[in-house]
Chain A
Amino acid sequence: MSGVSFESVLEQFPGTKWDEAAGAVIAPLGQARAVAEWLFGQGVDYCSNVTGVDYLEREVKEKITNDDGETETITRTESGRVDVVYHLYSMRDQAGPLVLKQRTSRDNAEAESLTPVWRSCDLQEREVYDLFGVNFKGHPNQRRIMMWDEFEGHPMRRDYTEPFDHEWEPTPHNEVLEKHQRGKVII
């Protein structure tokens, strides 16, 4: 890509990392806004797509070569996280994409809002807040967008369970009885 390359971002901001598998620049918490402003100054004027990705805690099997030169499989636990992904382009230079990610924890998901830099993040960050439960610091108008205001929970989280909203059943049986016995929420 002509224009801004990811190497120059990594050079400018030593805190950022390059994720080869995803092809994305990972900005550490608290630095995304600075990276975005710098990119904007370099001519990256168009933020196309903003979205979230939820990763549960999982066990990953990896093949490694040990000291004796033999391959063995080890299991390690990868902690859960939420990524906020930005696809950036430059309309001026007709270049792109540059993928920028903010990585945050699942329990206390917080990210920096890039809406003050690119207005196109406005509605999309609201959507990420609504469906993934990521709190955007500095967003001018953070409200639910797809779901109604009274809604509880964030449906795009991978461990989301739908609320118990079956109609009242006079003689519950089988599956419905089980749900009634479990209480308000299907586990």
Chain B
Amino acid sequence: MNDNLLSFIYDSYKYGFSTDLEKEYFPIGLNEEVLLLLSSQNKEPYFLKEFRLKAYLKWVQMRSPEWANLNIPPISYDDICYYSQPKKDKYKTSSDAVNPTLLETFSKLGISLQDNEKSSGVAIDAVFDSKSIATTYKEKLAKSGVIFCSISDAIQNYPDLIMEYLGFVVPPGDNFFAALNSAVFSDGSFCYVPKNVTCPLELSTYFRINDEHAGQFERTLIVAEKNSAVKYLEGCTATAYSKNQLHAAIVELIAYENAKIEYSTVQNWYSGNNEGLGGIYNFVTKRGLCVGENSQIFWTQVEAGSAITWKYPSCILLGKASLGKFYSIALTNFLQQADTGTKMIHLGEYTKSTIISKGIAAGCSKNSYRGLVKIGQKANYARNFSQCDSFIIGASSFSNTYPYFDNFNLTAIIEHEAKISKLSEEQLFYLLQRGIPISKAVNLIITGFCKDVILKLPLEFASEADKLLSLKLDNSIG
């Protein structure tokens, strides 16, 4: 049956279409001039220009990380275009109307960029290639004091906040891809939730890569002040090309006393075709800092796309009794590779963290969980629970789990559970015998396997994630 299981039929990626439009873009290649061009085009204050240059100087001295269980083909950074956006004069977007071409593109992706009931009460910042093209519900949010805008707008309108918080959690020299992003980031989303405010809407950013030659380098920065709360959703898709595109992003979260940030991602970048041609290289640094007492940061992710994923959403638990959670489903098929997991750094007393990771490897893919739980000297009575389960479909896929534990405190309690299972023929046969078609049968088993995490997803995402998993797995069985 394995042959049957591995016979791939068709490519069902629904988001691979391309929007044909005139672009304006930077000359290909990466050098100081490109940075200065970026900076001057955005009319950035001096500190930011300096920020970029410092990051660039660090980056040129760094090397691409090689410790991940990934086979990364050499990336020629001089052959990438670092800025591409729809031609400004032609695709004008004013404060109350998005350009129709772009509007249509996003509507095809199922994203409404108008403030109406169709957008189901979720405020969206839409990033198209290098540029944020629209942010919805800005006024409504402003009434409650919440700032939600593109990062380029924030640089203009709230430079003090940007100066204070940009690079606060992920310093420019943190790692190779973070340094690259810090040097060349073009746009992204910014959110500031003031004291005692629970954000009245869920916020989200939708990232779209349309340009074949451009990389996307965006940053998200969320600051939640004392006693505030915000839920953030992130989605992304890309046009299907036979070439690879680079996506190197940074997300920084900062939670003060009693604040709560929930950040959920459904990552569905183009993953390449059945033979591994094309797809996004997804190298992302996501980190949250629980500064205040009782602050909470939850990461939830469904990683289904990209040719290569390198991503470890982490929590630094500094505030006393702060709480970090990480829930992840990572699905790889065909020749996809994913090395993903989390870091829970316990620095404060009574800090707690939970990690639940579900990895599913189908086809000839490689799927690794990599996670670090670190308990610092002063983190008395810290607690961690980790559960890392893997599921293997077929005989040609790889699944690995790399849990690391560094404990410097004797009062800490760390628990770890891990399980690996394989799609068994007997399970499948049983379901078929009940009249369930094979693709549905596989989905039932996989959805069951991921249920702990699916239940943690925001409602809008849960059904989407479910659909995404089935769609992805339709390819893995014949």
Chain B binds chain A: no
Interface residues of B (CB under 8 A from A): none
